[in-house]
């Protein structure tokens, strides 16, 4: 019997161990794995709305309120957006489902610190406990400037800090007013130019001549004597079965890469692309992250790349000047030009800087993170110098700012919907880039993006210095 | 006011289960000769905690879901009080920790079933009343059939009869063919035969193993058990198959004390598991969902992923009763009830529940150690191992420690057959516990006479 008792004790320890392991695993689940599990988009608890609290605020970089809960004397709550449409695509709406930051930061806005204490206090004061607030990287004055500059033209403006990926302004027109989303809903749904679509992050456009930066980087990497490559431009040229024209069929004469970028010579880049080859150009497009999957706090449309490694010549030359089947978002172009300005390092773009608690402490501060190295430092520097030339004396003179060296690239994107889109991507000061911008104006037919970009850069530099 | 109470209740429930377990330790310490406090107070405190938890939970549920909850809460309270009164009388020498642990788990079940789906809670309470009646009658029934240890062949015939009946006439629910329906005129009654098989299996093994175990006994039990387990696997009832296997291994080990046989059995089982994985697609599906549920969230991994969301989203203290979203978890009222409890009462409370199963394991093993007859010792072991291992299977499953097999969490999950059989198992433990005490008293008296 004593042997039996020993066996019984051993069985006890075995099963006790199994239960202890379960306890340990449960603790590990909540302590270690929690963050990676909870953030899954399949977790419906993230959309949970606690009606018994005052939802947290959404604030701009300087603490200016972009969204807050107002409580009337009779206790009814309304969500108010003091800047309405100006920041609508960023804050999103909250009365008809949720979108924008209201959706992505819902859990934070619903979380009450010292829940028990606040609720206990509420019993006496009648004040609702308040959720945590979210502080953005956006400067609302820049946001207003962007809205003013687009002035009712369909398009997108995004301002970014190249060294960190902080987004200072992100504006798309048409916009909508989150305050009146319920009344406007049906009209917004049926509107021709889809105002609910955030053109910065979800609009897909042919990059036009801004793509020539990528073709240039491909040449630097794959053509050893690219510096000696020149082309005699007569304003038009044919490649296998494709005619390429320069803008207004203008003949640029014999140009090298710097001159071709400055004058935005299509024939030069088409000829260059033939030497690079589709396979190598595609590799560079991959290296600069054009094909990559990425995301941020707002829903993002991924770029669509139409080029294949075995593509025919016509597709290759069209892609090289940004006219093929490849389409990109303004956000991506801002990331790309930021990477050029940041010596080849592409940063993860972000909108949420930190979480602000009721006791004024902060947490969850976003740390800038690198996405990839798109080219070598030398290649980035060469390109930076060439882009200076574009604004100094080339197609981008409209973007000049007094007292500051601006670098950038213009683009005129032919498209199926009407007049050409106008692009400008650039950064300043060229010697020590503080801000980068991407501007797109739909179907405008001229180069007005450059002018808008210049004023945007001036405004951004002014607020940065403050 | 209610919002404040709900937030406060999160800490009260967790504090309650902590104090409940501590009281168990106080009681056990006294028994072992130490002193951490009065054992009588400890047992009363445990009862107070169950009643306090019950009242607080149904107060919140009444405020949030309406007055029907108050009525049900009152019915539940009356049930608890009657249960204590009857069990304390009938099993005067039984173990109070086992009674309190059982009622604690059952009450958590009632609270969450009402929160998830009130009609299920009502049905569960009816089954519990039936279970209580069975426990109370058990000592008298066992007196009427005195020689249960001699009926080994009857047990075998009944088990195989039930298994084969399920095989040919069974109904499929949740992927497994493990339900039988009895029809009598217009009445029909559906139950899980595997719950009855559990008792028969334990009594069968105890009847054989109470004697000296030679090759004949070993081979006979091994072959018959393997047949049972194989039939269960074929009926896609993997959880029950594992439970039966574990029960067999433990009882074999206890009666032979042979490590060699134990590891040989484990080795054979591992080989069989690999074979089953290769042969049966339903096994592969379960394993794949466990390895990486994220790869297949929409179908195979859906249940486990949602259960993980429930457990982790609100952290250790939970969302507060009625403030979570447990209805997003498939089969939450039976298989996944542990995830719902972790969601609203917090994962600390979930740890406490595992602690209660640990306490039950300890007390069950105590009963097995104390009983004078090997037959009773084996039955106590069988019942204890079966309950604990089943709890581990489903808790480990919903926290993704092991592949999810659809078994119930004993005493907590919804299910008539399940709650009835779990309660009777506690009754059997109590009955053996009382027998030990009687034997000990007789022995004492005999010793006194000889002196």
Please determine, for residue B235, whether its predicted confidence score (pLDDT) is greater than 90: no
Q: Which chain A residues have a beta carbon less than 8 Å from that of B1?
A: 123
In the numeric block, which tokens belong to residue A210? Answer: 């801004």
Q: Which chain B residues have a beta carbon less than 8 Å from that of A52?
A: 3
- Comparing alpha-carbon positions, the chain A residue that sits nearest to B362 is A12
Q: Averaged over B277-306, what is the pLDDT?
A: 86
- Using the beta-carbon criterion (under 8 Å), do A16 and B313 form an inter-chain contact? no
- Using the beta-carbon criterion (under 8 Å), do A3 and B297 form an inter-chain contact? no
From the list B254, B313, B314, which residue is nearest A11 (CB)? Answer: B254
Closest CA to B228 of B219, B217, B238, B241: B241
Distance CA A371, CA B192 (A): 56
Return the top range by mean pLDDT from A51-55, A303-307, B440-444. Answer: A303-307
Distance CA A460, CA A439 (A): 14
Phi-psi category of B268—alpha, beta or left, where left has phi over 0 and alpha has psi -120 to 50? alpha
- Comparing alpha-carbon positions, the chain A residue that sits nearest to B257 is A7
Please determine, for residue B178, whether its predicted confidence score (pLDDT) is greater than 80: no
pLDDT score at A389: 94
In this complex, is the C-beta atom of A125 within 8 Å of any C-beta atom belonging to chain B? no
Distance CA A88, CA A178 (A): 6
Phi-psi category of A154—alpha, beta or left, where left has phi over 0 and alpha has psi -120 to 50? beta
A420: phi then psi, degrees, rounded to nearest 5: -65, 145
Q: Averaged over B428-446, what is the pLDDT?
A: 87
Q: Which chain A residues have a beta carbon less than 8 Å from that of B395?
A: 22
Strands (E), B71-175: 171-173
Please determine, for residue B231, whether its predicted confidence score (pLDDT) is greater than 80: yes
From the list B257, B297, B324, which residue is nearest A4 (CB)? Answer: B257
Q: Which chain B residues have a beta carbon less than 8 Å from that of A26?
A: 311, 342, 347, 350-351, 354, 399
Q: Averaged over A187-209, what is the pLDDT?
A: 93
pLDDT score at B175: 65
Q: Averaged over B110-138, what is the pLDDT?
A: 95
Q: Give A 23-62 residues with CB within 8 A of chain B.
A: 23, 25-27, 29-30, 33-34, 37-38, 40, 42-46, 48, 50, 52
- Comparing alpha-carbon positions, the chain B residue that sits nearest to A32 is B312
- Better-predicted residue by pLDDT, B348 or B181: B348
Q: Give A 234-293 residues with CB within 8 A of chain B.
A: none
**Confidence band (pLDDT; 50, 70, 90) for B449?**
confident
Contacts of B179 (CB under 8 A, 6+ apart): B166, B170, B171, B172, B173, B190, B191, B192
Chain B nearest C-alpha distance from A26 (Å): 7
Buried b / exposed e over A421-457, threshold 16 CB at 10 Å, is bbbbbbbbbbeebbbbbbbbbbebeebbbbbbbbbbb
Please determine, for residue B281, whether its predicted confidence score (pLDDT) is greater than 70: yes
Distance CA A151, CA B353 (A): 63
Q: Residue A334 burial (CB < 10 Å; 0-12/13-18/19+)?
A: buried
Distance CA A107, CA A143 (A): 26
pLDDT score at B228: 93
- Using the beta-carbon criterion (under 8 Å), do B354 and A19 form an inter-chain contact? yes
Please determine, for residue B277, whether its predicted confidence score (pLDDT) is greater than 60: yes
Q: Give percent above pLDDT 70 in chain A.
A: 100
Distance CA B387, CA A450 (A): 75
pLDDT score at A71: 87
Chain A nearest C-alpha distance from B273 (Å): 19
Helix (H) or strand (E) holding B180: strand B176-184
Cβ(B362)–Cβ(B377) below 8 Å: no
Q: For residue B145, give the DSSP letter.
A: S
Closest CA to A436 of A284, A210, A257: A210
Distance CA B343, CA B351 (A): 12
Contacts of B429 (CB under 8 A, 6+ apart): B95, B98, B363, B364, B367, B380, B383, B384
Q: Residue A464 burial (CB < 10 Å; 0-12/13-18/19+)?
A: middle
CA distances for A58 relative to A61, A80, A108, A309, B262, angstroms: 10, 10, 11, 46, 63
User: B47-75: per-residue pLDDT in tens?
Assistant: 999 999 999 999 999 999 899 999 999 99
- Using the beta-carbon criterion (under 8 Å), do B358 and A16 form an inter-chain contact? yes
Residue of A17, A27, A30, A128 to mutate for B, most B C-beta atoms under 10 A: A30
From the list B308, B358, B369, which residue is nearest A8 (CB)? Answer: B369
Please determine, for residue A353, whether its predicted confidence score (pLDDT) is greater than 70: yes
In the numeric block, which tokens belong to residue B353? Answer: 């529940």
- Residue A273 CA, chain-centre distance (Å), reads 28
CA distances for B119 relative to A437, B325, B331, B337, angstroms: 61, 19, 15, 16
Q: At what angle do helices B152-169 and B215-234 cross, to 10 degrees?
A: 20
- Using the beta-carbon criterion (under 8 Å), do B254 and A3 form an inter-chain contact? no
Please determine, for residue B423, whether its predicted confidence score (pLDDT) is greater than 90: yes
pLDDT score at B229: 92
- Comparing alpha-carbon positions, the chain B residue that sits nearest to A120 is B4
Supply the mean pLDDT for chain B. 91
In the numeric block, which tokens belong to residue B325? Answer: 């979203």
Q: Give A 60-119 residues with CB within 8 A of chain B.
A: 115-116, 119
pLDDT score at B92: 87
CB atoms within 10 A of CB B379: 29
In the numeric block, which tokens belong to residue B137? Answer: 């009658």
User: A410-454: per-residue pLDDT in tens?
Assistant: 999 988 888 999 999 999 999 999 999 999 999 998 889 999 999
Contacts of B48 (CB under 8 A, 6+ apart): none
3-class SS letters over chain A: CHHHHHHHHHHHHHHHHHHHHHHHHHHHHHHCCHHHHHCCCCCHHHHCCCCCCECCCEECCCCCEEEEEEECCCCCEEEECCCHHHHHHHHCCCCCCCCHHHHHCHHHHHCCCCHHHHHHHHHHHCCCCECCEEEECCCHHHHHHHHHHHCCCCEEEEEECCCCCEEEEEEEECCCCHHHHHHHHHHHHHCCCCCCCCHHHHCCECCHHHHHHHHHHHHHHHCCCHHHCCEEECCEEEECCEEEECHHHCCCEEECHHHHHHHCCHHHHHHHHHHHCHHHHHHHHHHCCCCCCCCCCCCCCCCECCCCCCCCHHHHHHHHCCCCCCEECHHHHHHHHHHHHCCCEEECCECEEEEECCCCCEECCCCCCEEEECCCHHHHHHHHHHHHHHHHHCCCHHHCECCECCEEEEEEEEECCEEEEEEEEEEECCCCCCEEEEEEECCCCCCHHHHHHHHHHHHHHHHHHC
B105: phi then psi, degrees, rounded to nearest 5: -60, -40
Residue of B401, B410, B436 to mutate for A, most A C-beta atoms under 10 A: B401
Helix (H) or strand (E) holding B191: strand B187-191
In chain A, the domains with their CATH numbers are 44-136 (3.90.1310.10), 143-176+186-352+367-465 (3.40.710.10)
A:B CB pairs within 8 Å: 127
User: A112-133: per-residue pLDDT in tens?
Assistant: 888 788 888 877 887 888 899 9
In the numeric block, which tokens belong to residue B3? Answer: 């919002």
- Using the beta-carbon criterion (under 8 Å), do A19 and B294 form an inter-chain contact? no
Distance CA A139, CA A144 (A): 9
Q: Residue A120 burial (CB < 10 Å; 0-12/13-18/19+)?
A: middle
Phi-psi category of B170—alpha, beta or left, where left has phi over 0 and alpha has psi -120 to 50? beta
Chain A nearest C-alpha distance from B360 (Å): 11
Helix (H) or strand (E) holding B37: none
B235: phi then psi, degrees, rounded to nearest 5: -85, 10
- Comparing alpha-carbon positions, the chain A residue that sits nearest to B296 is A42
Distance CA A273, CA A282 (A): 11
Distance CA B145, CA B147 (A): 6
From the list B4, B257, B395, which residue is nearest A119 (CB)? Answer: B4
Q: Averaged over A379-394, what is the pLDDT?
A: 94
pLDDT score at B174: 64
Q: For residue B335, give the DSSP letter.
A: T
CB atoms within 10 A of CB A3: 11
User: B296-341: per-residue pLDDT in tens?
Assistant: 888 788 999 999 999 999 989 999 999 999 999 988 998 899 999 9
User: A163-182: per-residue pLDDT in tens?
Assistant: 999 999 999 999 999 999 99
Distance CA A337, CA A409 (A): 9
**Confidence band (pLDDT; 50, 70, 90) for A29?**
very high
From the list A3, A12, A38, which residue is nearest B312 (CB)? Answer: A38
A75: phi then psi, degrees, rounded to nearest 5: 90, -5
pLDDT score at A466: 67
Q: Averaged over B174-200, what is the pLDDT?
A: 78
CB atoms within 10 A of CB A127: 11
pLDDT score at B310: 95
Cβ(B167)–Cβ(B228) below 8 Å: no
3-class SS letters over A207-272: CHHHHHHHHHHHHHHHCCCHHHCCEEECCEEEECCEEEECHHHCCCEEECHHHHHHHCCHHHHHHH
How long is chain A? 466
Distance CA B218, CA B197 (A): 20
- Using the beta-carbon criterion (under 8 Å), do B365 and A12 form an inter-chain contact? yes
Rg of chain B on CA atoms, in Å: 22
Q: Which chain A residues have a beta carbon less than 8 Å from that of B308?
A: 29, 37
């Amino acid at each position: 019997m004593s042997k039996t008792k020993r066996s019984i004790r051993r069985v006890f320890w075995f099963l006790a161990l199994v239960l202890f392991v379960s306890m340990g695993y449960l603790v590990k689940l909540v302590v270690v794995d929690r963050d990676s599990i909870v953030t899954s988009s399949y977790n419906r608890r993230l959309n949970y709305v606690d009606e018994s609290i005052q939802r947290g605020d959404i604030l701009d970089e300087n603490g200016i309120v972009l969204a807050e809960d107002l409580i009337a004397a009779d206790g009814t709550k309304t969500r108010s957006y003091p800047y309405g449409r100006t920041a609508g695509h960023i804050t999103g709406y909250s009365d008809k489902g949720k979108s924008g930051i209201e959706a992505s930061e819902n859990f934070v806005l619903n979380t009450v610190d010292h829940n028990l204490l606040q609720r206990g206090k509420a019993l006496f004061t009648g004040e609702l406990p308040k959720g945590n607030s979210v502080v953005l990287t956006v400067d609302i004055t820049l946001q207003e400037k962007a809205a003013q500059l687009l002035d009712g033209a369909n398009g997108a403006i995004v301002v970014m800090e190249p060294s960190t990926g902080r987004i200072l302004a992100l504006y798309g027109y048409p916009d909508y007013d989150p305050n009146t989303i319920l009344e406007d809903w049906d009209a917004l749904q049926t509107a021709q130019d889809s105002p609910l679509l955030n053109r910065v992050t979800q609009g897909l456009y042919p990059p036009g001549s801004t793509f020539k930066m990528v073709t240039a980087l491909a040449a630097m990497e794959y053509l050893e004597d690219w510096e000696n490559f020149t082309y005699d431009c007569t304003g038009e040229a044919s490649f296998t079965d494709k005619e390429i024209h320069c803008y207004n069929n203008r003949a640029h004469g014999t140009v090298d890469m710097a001159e071709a970028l400055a004058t935005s010579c299509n024939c030069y880049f088409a000829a260059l692309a033939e030497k690079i080859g589709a396979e190598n150009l595609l590799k560079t497009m991959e290296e600069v992250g054009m094909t990559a999957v990425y995301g941020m706090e707002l829903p993002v449309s991924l770029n669509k790349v139409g080029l294949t490694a075995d593509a025919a010549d016509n597709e290759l030359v069209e892609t090289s000047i940004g006219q093929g089947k490849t389409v990109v978002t303004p956000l991506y172009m801002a990331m790309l030009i930021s990477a050029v300005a940041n010596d080849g390092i592409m940063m993860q773009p972000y909108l949420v800087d930190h979480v602000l608690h009721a006791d004024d402490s902060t947490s969850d501060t976003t740390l800038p993170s690198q996405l990839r190295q798109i080219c070598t430092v030398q290649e980035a520097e060469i390109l930076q110098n060439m882009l200076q030339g574009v604004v100094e004396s080339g197609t981008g003179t409209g973007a000049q700012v007094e007292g500051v060296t601006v670098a950038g690239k213009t683009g005129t994107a032919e498209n199926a919907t009407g007049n050409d889109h106008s692009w400008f991507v650039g950064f300043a000061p060229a010697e020590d880039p503080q801000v980068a911008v991407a501007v797109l104006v739909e179907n405008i037919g001229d180069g007005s993006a450059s002018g808008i970009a210049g004023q945007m850069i001036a405004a951004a530099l002014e607020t940065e210095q403050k | 006011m209610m919002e404040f109470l709900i937030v406060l209740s999160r800490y009260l429930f967790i504090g309650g289960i902590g104090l409940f377990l501590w009281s168990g330790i106080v009681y056990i310490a006294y028994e072992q000769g130490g002193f951490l406090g009065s054992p009588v107070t400890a047992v009363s405190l445990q009862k107070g905690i169950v009643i306090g938890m019950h009242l607080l939970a149904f107060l919140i549920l009444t405020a949030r879901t309406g007055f029907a909850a108050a009525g049900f809460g009152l019915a539940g309270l009356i049930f608890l009080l009657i249960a204590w009164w009857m069990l304390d009388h009938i099993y005067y020498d039984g173990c109070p920790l086992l009674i309190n642990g059982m009622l604690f788990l059952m009450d958590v079940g009632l609270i969450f079933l009402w929160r998830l789906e009130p009609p299920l809670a009502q049905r569960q309470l009816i089954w519990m009343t039936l279970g209580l009646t069975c426990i109370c009658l058990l000592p008298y029934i066992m007196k009427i059939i005195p020689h249960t240890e001699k009926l080994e062949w009857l047990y075998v015939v009944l088990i195989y009869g039930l298994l084969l009946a399920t095989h040919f006439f069974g109904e499929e629910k949740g992927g497994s063919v493990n339900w039988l329906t009895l029809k009598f005129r217009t009445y029909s009654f559906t139950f899980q035969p595997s719950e009855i098989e559990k008792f028969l299996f334990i009594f069968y093994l105890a009847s054989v193993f109470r004697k000296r175990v030679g090759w004949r006994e070993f081979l006979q039990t091994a072959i018959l058990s393997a047949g049972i387990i194989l039939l269960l696997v074929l009926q896609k009832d993997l959880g029950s198959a594992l439970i039966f296997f574990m029960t067999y291994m433990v009882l074999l080990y206890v009666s032979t004390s042979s490590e060699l046989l134990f590891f040989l059995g484990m080795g054979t089982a591992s080989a069989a598991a690999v074979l089953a994985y290769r042969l049966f697609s339903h096994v592969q599906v379960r394993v794949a969902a466990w390895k990486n549920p994220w790869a297949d969230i929409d179908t195979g991994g859906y249940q486990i992923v949602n259960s993980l969301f429930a457990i982790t989203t609100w952290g250790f203290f939970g969302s507060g009763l009625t403030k979570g979203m447990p209805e997003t978890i498939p089969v939450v009222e039976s298989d996944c009830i542990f995830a719902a409890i972790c969601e609203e009462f917090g994962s600390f409370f979930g740890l406490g529940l595992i602690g209660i199963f640990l306490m039950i394991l300890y007390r069950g093993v105590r009963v097995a150690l104390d009983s004078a007859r090997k037959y009773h010792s084996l039955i106590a072991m069988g019942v204890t191992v079966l309950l604990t291992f089943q709890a581990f299977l489903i808790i480990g499953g919903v926290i993704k420690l092991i592949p999810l097999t659809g078994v119930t969490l004993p005493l907590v999950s919804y299910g008539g057959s399940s709650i009835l059989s779990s309660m009777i198992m506690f009754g059997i433990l109590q009955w053996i516990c009382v027998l030990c005490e009687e034997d000990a008293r007789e022995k004492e008296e005999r010793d006194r006479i000889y002196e």
